[in-house]
């Protein structure tokens, strides 16, 4: 984890009127180190000793400060990942049965074509897009 990234997180929290506490730092590092979005039970398993109520509260603060992003799936728990501007642009494959989420990146030519198509649709509806998110819903290989 780079010092620059920790500095950015601290700045976002400060602008939101919050502090970068040791628990928030540990939570940020757990989410940042994950290769996919994590559910609350998965975060709790990786960071033993953090109470569930504390995790909920701190995830909410990190979400409000635009440090993490909540991904809502069909399962009981949302999943959390770093805000896209702190990581890299990607999309999700979301299993409608078990709730698993897999990050996927598109080849740059396909990403540009999709961005153009989405911008055209938005513009024709009088909407000015600033970004896009795509979640593909279906069944993962384990559930199919």
pLDDT, tens digit, 9 for 90 and up, residues 99-116: 888 989 999 999 999 999
Confidence of residue 98 (pLDDT cuts 50, 70, 90): confident
What average pLDDT does the chain have? 90
Average pLDDT over residues 80-102: 89
Burial class (CB in 10 A: 0-12, 13-18, 19+), 123: exposed
In the block, which residue shows the tokens 């740059």? 108
pLDDT, tens digit, 9 for 90 and up, residues 1-48: 567 999 999 999 999 999 999 999 999 999 999 989 998 889 999 888
pTM metric for this prediction = 0.80
């Amino acid at each position: 984890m780079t010092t620059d990234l920790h500095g950015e997180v601290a700045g976002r929290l400060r602008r939101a009127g919050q502090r970068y506490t040791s628990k928030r730092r540990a939570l940020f590092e757990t989410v940042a180190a994950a290769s996919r979005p994590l559910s609350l039970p998965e975060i709790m398993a990786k960071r033993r000793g953090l109470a569930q109520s504390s995790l909920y509260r701190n995830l909410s603060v990190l979400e409000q400060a635009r440090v993490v992003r909540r991904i809502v799936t069909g399962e009981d728990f949302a999943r959390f990942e770093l805000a896209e501007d702190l990581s890299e642009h990607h999309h999700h494959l979301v299993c409608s049965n078990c709730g698993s989420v897999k990050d996927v990146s598109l080849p740059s030519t396909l990403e540009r074509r999709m961005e153009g198509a989405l911008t055209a649709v938005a513009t024709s509806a009088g909407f000015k897009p600033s970004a896009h998110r795509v979640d593909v819903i279906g069944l993962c290989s384990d559930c199919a």
